[in-house]
Amino acid sequence: MSPKLPSHLFPWLILLTFASLYFFSSFLSLSTFSSSSSSLSISNTCNLFRGQWVSDPNHTPLYDQTCPFHRNAWNCLRNERQNMTLINSWRWVPQSCHLPRIDPVRFLGTMKNRNIGFVGDSLNENFLASFLCILSVADKGAKKWKKKGAWRGAYFPKFNVTVAYHRAVLLSRYQWQPKQPEAGVKDGSEGFYRVDVDVPADDWAKIAGFYDVLVFNTGHWWNRDKFPKEKPLVFYKAGQPIVPPLGMLDGLKVVLTNMVTYIQKEFPGNTLKFWRLQSPRHFYGGDWNQNGSCLFNKPLEEDEEQRS
């Protein structure tokens, strides 16, 4: 079982990416449309990540079950998940700050002729599905987009904006290496996953220069649930095994260091880049692949432990 994360990180799941993009679009709005009275003004004392979840019965989704960018299995509205009215009523209220609801028309208008990319695991992918549905409200001509290695995405022709996700759960390239049979050797392993810490995953290796904003994340795959001792991660650099071998968490640190170096070297300096934190997992009765279910109807409390 992977280490449990403090519950106070839960707001970052939803807010870090959205707020970062919102601030970026607001910054562009201030610099591009400085004469507009509708520009967002942010106080120096404002901390969007300190606050509380508030249930507002008038708070409803901007989109409905017909959104074409949801996977069928993820479409809670279409699948009639219980208590959706309550779940959708929650909104984040920062302390001493006003956080306006995203305006998809204004957002896409500000981001006109720019592209936004997400790189990482399913946390970024889950966010993207909802984000695309929100933005599609502003452009009914939005089309699915899967180019440059993207797993999923959308193109908004009215604004000439592309928003897409590239799946790279470890960020670095990794591939399965089956065990080579050796006479008399039985150690219980089936092989290993080779991780090239200095090589990006193929899905995002050729996107430099295309996106104006990039949001990276990794984390939930770095545990024994994903890579048990029978199928461990073995780390390579410059084509050679790292000696002495690295444990999983040390390997994560080395991957992050090398990927940051790669991004700084290969991506234009004017590309805005964000690193997104993890969120707690909250399954009941087992993990996601062990008959676990997510039965929460409300966010975790400040002092509430993650359950599994």
Q: How many CB atoms lie within 10 A of CB 271?
A: 17
Omega of the bond leading into 244 within 30 degrees of 0 (cis): yes
- For 190-231, write each residue's pLDDT tens digit: 899 999 999 999 999 999 999 999 999 999 899 888 999 899
- For 109-133, write each residue's pLDDT tens digit: 999 999 999 999 999 998 999 999 9
Spans of all domains in the chain: 7-12+103-275
CB 159 within 8 A of CB 107: no
**By C-alpha distance, which of 121, 73, 300, 289 is closest to 220?**
121
- For 44-53, write each residue's pLDDT tens digit: 678 888 899 9
Q: DSSP assignment, residue 130?
A: H
pTM above 0.85, yes or no: no
Cα–Cα distance measured from residue 138 to residue 159, given in angstroms and rounded to the nearest whole number:
9
User: Does 137 have pLDDT greater than 90?
Assistant: yes
Residue 307's pLDDT band, with cuts at 50, 70 and 90, is very low
Residue 287's pLDDT band, with cuts at 50, 70 and 90, is confident
DSSP codes of every residue in 14-61: HHHHHHHHHHHHHHHHHHHSTT-TT-----TT--TTSEEEEE-TT---
